[in-house]
Amino acid sequence: MADFQIAPSILSADFARLGEEVDNVLASGTDIVHFDVMDNHYVPNLTIGPLVCDALRSHGVTADIDVHMMVKPVDRIIPDFAKAGATYITFHPEASEHIDRSLGLIRELGCKSGLVFNPATPLSHLDYVMDKVDMILLMSVNPGFGGQSFIPATMDKLRAARKMIDESGFDIRLEIDGGVKASNIREIAEAGADTFVAGSGIFGNGQASDANGYDTIVKEFRDELAKVGS
Ligand code: DX5
Ligand code: ZN
């Protein structure tokens, strides 16, 4: 079976108890921490930055941290996230004047690099940089907010991105972000995604966020993923 990874988006976590929330959601069987950085400029919302990433590392989080930068410009802040312990650093091609350089900078600093595609952004930005990305992230909502509905046209885009990755022969993860729930994760996986961001689908599902609070919902996600291809 494919190596599926579940990436809880801490945008929907309780920020007043962030370290504990991250510990609990990882203990429930999720894989990587999706970390949404918004700047009130590239997107109309403002969230968290390198200080918070660093704080999670100091708290003891050893899982991969997947920094999704919704910021413009991107190059100035990349080194700060590398220093703060980011594993992946992804950015939107519209937000960088020099995409190839930004991707190179991320890898030079020892992190894994990625490009993020808004619903209307074409995959052609990848044409000359497939050898420079470790992650392709398709937005299935317009970026800026949690809790929006999955845009169905993303399914075809996932299939197209999966084809590009397979044909390239490179080891590139295909991540999906926005409106992922237990009810659609199987179909999303069958369209080619292997990494699943879920914010409101995990943190906002009404379960208590105590030490065992996310077990049930994460198991539902896993059970759906286990059906892929069957
Ligand atoms: C939106 C963010 C997402 C967000 C997803 O701009 O990039 O990561 O947290 O939230 P849900 O899973 O609630 O759609
Ligand atoms: Zn995100």
How many CA atoms does the CB half-sphere of 47 hold within 13 Å? Answer: 29
Q: 79 CB contacts (<8 Å, ≥6 apart)? A: 105, 109
Six token digits for residue 109 = 């600093």
Active site residue 54: no
3-class SS of residue 34: strand
- Count the domains in the chain: 1
In this prediction, residue 209 carries a pLDDT of 55
Q: Is beta strand 88-91 parallel, antiparallel or unpaired with respect to 5-8?
A: unpaired
Q: Which ligand is closest in space to the CA of residue 42?
A: 1
Rounded CA separation 28/7 (Å): 12
Contact, 175 vs 9, CB < 8 A? no
Which structural domain, as residue segments, surrounds residue 190? 5-226
Give the CATH number of the domain where residue 162 resides.
Answer: 3.20.20.70
Binding residue positions for a divalent metal cation? 34, 36, 68, 177
Pocket of ligand 1 contains residue 118 by CB under 6 Å: no
Active-site annotation holder among 39, 66, 134, 177 = 177
C-alpha of residue 167 to centroid of ligand 2, in Å: 26
Active site residue 36: yes
Question: Along the 230 residues of the chain, how does pLDDT read in single tens digits?
Answer: 579 999 999 999 999 999 999 999 999 999 999 999 999 999 999 999 999 999 999 999 999 999 999 999 999 999 999 999 999 999 999 999 999 999 999 999 999 999 999 999 999 999 999 999 999 999 999 999 999 999 999 999 999 999 999 999 999 999 999 999 999 999 999 999 999 999 999 998 665 555 567 999 999 999 999 999 88
Whole-model pTM? 0.97
- DSSP letter string, 85-113: T-SEEEE-GGG-S-HHHHHHHHHHTT-EE
Q: How deeply is 210 buried, as exposed, middle or buried, from its count of CB atoms within 10 A (0-12, 13-18, 19+)?
A: exposed
In this prediction, residue 64 carries a pLDDT of 98
Pocket of ligand 1 contains residue 47 by CB under 6 Å: no
